[in-house]
Structure 1
Amino acid sequence: MTRIVMDVDTGIDDTLALAYVLAAVRAGECELAGVVGTYGNVLASTAMANNRAVLRLFDAAVPGGTSGVPTPRGCVCPSWADGFAVDEGCARFHGDNGLGNVDPTRYGDRPSDGGTAGLVGPNDESGSDDAPTITVADRMRAASRPAVLSLGGERHDLPVRLADGDGDDAAQPFGGQTRAETMNLAASDASYANRPSQWRADCPEASRPDGLPAGVRLIIDEVRAHGRDVTVLATGPLTDVDAALAAAPDIAERMRLVMMGGALTQEGNCYDLICETNIFQDPEAANRVFRSGADVTMIGLDVTHQCLLTRADAESWRAADGPREDGDRPGAGAFLADMARFYIGANEASDPLFLAGSPLHDPLAAAVALDPALVTCFDVNMMTETSTGNGHGFRGRTIGDPTRLRDPRKTAHVALNVDAARAAASIRDRIGELCANNA
């Protein structure tokens, strides 16, 4: 039986991907070996808390429950950065809490004892309400190098752009914003200055003898123990996968990775219309993963923009909860429907293209991890461009690797066609079954 290790930056579509995998667990089609929370749509600590909240919500639907599923934290920032702040684009599409501003503790037949957590301390992976919140303004006052804020924008202008980690704007033609410019922005925009930020000091490395976040160690241990019988399903930046490969190069030849990210034949969904958000968060990590020798299936915008979630699809999950009496708590299906309503509205507002439905980015990757026949792939050795400018390409673009063009072994399988109707129906129906059996 296939084992799945999920590595997620738990926003709305990551949550739907998790629900899809739980439906497969319920059906006896796979085992969920762990859900790693990383940065991206939200802070890593929020992703970890969201994972736990969703697992609690669907505990009754899964034989044996979900309490035994490990939910460690991965890396809290890109490999090239000192820190990470959630940008306004992610909040626009996923809400401030990553779940469309929907509180999962208000749903389900059994009240939950926890919700989303704040930042966690260096020796605590469980989350702590007492842990201090570090803001962008705090970090800028303490910084001695340019700001290193990630950019996860989706077709809109952002107040902050990437800064080169070495502090040399000329070496990064993308146009890194200097520390002084960022401090000016923090001084003039209170909402930006007070935005929560998370830094390497908040990683769990300090509590581990090997210096690895527990989520990265989980990936290493699972691949070493099970080889390609375990699938690493990554629906956020590839920082954790890269860290696992760097710490344990021996796992590369044994790793099967299904990732949501990138674009080969379509526009990107960052403001530049070239890059895809997950890849752009950490281009260096993505490039190293592509070149590692691991077997990578790339589920990018080429196919996710064909696989759409409609309002009717989302409302079917609410109906799956069954009739409710006055005073009853809304069910897990209502939670997913309310969350999806936020996501669909945000997508409709962003681009008329999505009036037909909202892309099922991460759920499609989950579906392909369990049913590869859903997509048709082009086998090619891939790379990610890590600099912008003449002779460099464009930072964050996923493209074929010219240095390995003639290599007989192709390690990346880029999905270019998808049975969109079957995939969307499978996602809708399997999640609906999960909700219907969550009593």
Structure 2
Amino acid sequence: MTLHKVIYDTDPGVDDAMAFVLETLHPEIELIGVTSVFGNATIDTTTRNACYLAGRFAPAVPVARGAGAPLEGEAPTPLAAIHGDDGLGNIGPSEDGTVSPDARAASRFIIDSVRAHPSEVTIVAVGPLTNLALALAEDPSIVPLVKQVIVMGGAFGIGGVNGNVTPAAEANMFGDPHAADLVFGAAWPLTIVGLDVTHRVVMSTSYLASIRDRGGVAGRFVWDVSRHYEAFHRDTENIEGIYVHDASAVAYLLAPQLFTVRKGPVRVLTEGIAAGQTIQKPEGMPCAAPAWDARPSCNVCVGVDADGVLALYERALCGAQ
């Protein structure tokens, strides 16, 4: 059995919390740390939520507080309509049993963990990529020591999918486009799981109810934390269920065969009305593009076996019933 050592870089966030549950329950994942970042809520809230989630589902896992603002400019205002005032669907997370944050900043925690486990650590990053960019700036020599980076973010226009905070940009890329462009330009194995595939994976109301009824404490938590989130999807997307964003990135780690990828360097626009837009030059494209050509190739997910992703999540929470 493959065992993946994972650092989960996250801005919890309802879908972040649902992915966290998958990471803590799946037997092939060894969660070695959680790093918080601004995004779905302020850094105070996302750090509190990360400490709450760790305390409830993985109390031995350290949590390190990360960046509270992007490399340049101010953090976008969190949208309570999506994730609730508390970032966790207004479930009112208790302070009881939460873990205390590690003394190190998230970027330092990433560096130390990668150096302690060379060629073993996968970073699953599902928020703005500021912590990874800060780690790169502090110690660029970690790049060849990272096993792989899996990013939930971006939108590449596959099947007509656009951004979700502007017509051009997905939220994590919009949150810190400068950081994203730096991270995508580093020569570590990197896969981007964007809206192009996450919008094809939908947990319906009946699916979530089944998880609730068969998944024990974790299943009940997934149902509770997703109520506000599902209402948002119903009101704005007219779907009875929720898109599976962050858990799809974890699914790629566990079962990459469920995804189709396109290879090629990726740039992120950092200025103007399209800031945060992700653009890939696919391998084999004949035209010269100097802004792309000198950069390493990334995997961009362009297809997904949605039923396979949902089955993977269900098995982790409910077993083989």
Q: What's the TM-score once normalised by structure 2's chain length?
A: 0.88
1:32–1:69: 8 Å Cα contact kept in structure 2? yes
Offset of 1:20 from its aligned partner? 0.6
CA distance in 2, matches of 1:85, 1:395: 13
Q: Are 1:343 and 2:229 matched, yes or no?
A: yes
Give the alignment partner of residue 96 of structure 1, picking from 69, 85, 93: 85
Cα pair distance change 1:94/1:17, threshold 3 Å: same
| Bigger mean CA offset, 33-42 vs 335-344 | 335-344
Residues 324-367 of structure 1: per-residue CA shift (max 9 Å, x gap): xxxxxxx4432220211221111111123xx1532100000011
Q: Are 1:258 and 2:142 matched, yes or no?
A: no
Count of paired positions: 308
Paired residue type of 1:262:
G
Offset of 1:95 from its aligned partner? 0.4
Structure 1 residues not aligned, in runs of 5+: 59-65, 106-111, 116-124, 128-203, 208-212, 323-330
| Bigger mean CA offset, 31-40 vs 218-227 | 218-227
Paired residue type of 1:284:
H
CA distance in 2, matches of 1:296, 1:225: 20
CA distance in 2, matches of 1:275, 1:85: 13
Equivalent residue number for residue 314 of structure 1: 208
CA distance in 1, matches of 2:211, 2:44: 28
1:57–1:332: 8 Å Cα contact kept in structure 2? no
RMSD (CA atoms): 2.4
Q: Which runs of 4+ in 1 moved over 6 A?
A: none
Equivalent residue number for residue 269 of structure 1: 164
Structure 2 residues not aligned, in runs of 5+: 282-288
Give the alignment partner of residue 217 of structure 1, picking from 108, 111, 129: 108
Paired residue type of 1:73:
R
Equivalent residue number for residue 163 of structure 1: none
Equivalent residue number for residue 18 of structure 1: 20
- Residues 197-216 of structure 1 correspond to what in structure 2 (within 5 A)? 214-216=105-107
Give the alignment partner of residue 96 of structure 2, picking from 98, 110, 113: 113
What secondary structure, in the 3-state scheme, does the structure 1 residue paired with 2:30 have?
A: strand
Report which of the two structures shows the higher radius of gyration computed on alpha carbons.
Answer: 1
Paired residue type of 2:193:
I
Offset of 1:314 from its aligned partner? 1.4
Offset of 1:267 from its aligned partner? 0.6
What secondary structure, in the 3-state scheme, does the structure 2 residue paired with 1:228 have?
A: coil
What secondary structure, in the 3-state scheme, does the structure 1 residue paired with 2:7 have?
A: strand
Equivalent residue number for residue 285 of structure 2: none
Offset of 1:243 from its aligned partner? 0.5
Equivalent residue number for residue 80 of structure 1: 72
Equivalent residue number for residue 48 of structure 1: 47
CA distance in 2, matches of 1:253, 1:264: 27
CA distance in 1, matches of 2:68, 2:43: 5
Residues 101-145 of structure 1: per-residue CA shift (max 9 Å, x gap): 01243xxxxxx7257xxxxxxxxx948xxxxxxxxxxxxxxxxxx
Offset of 1:226 from its aligned partner? 2.5
Cα pair distance change 1:311/1:363, threshold 3 Å: same
Equivalent residue number for residue 188 of structure 2: 294
Give the alignment partner of residue 220 of structure 2, picking from 326, 334, 359: 334
Cα pair distance change 1:258/1:5, threshold 3 Å: same
Offset of 1:221 from its aligned partner? 1.6
CA distance in 2, matches of 1:16, 1:227: 28
Cα pair distance change 1:113/1:418, threshold 3 Å: same
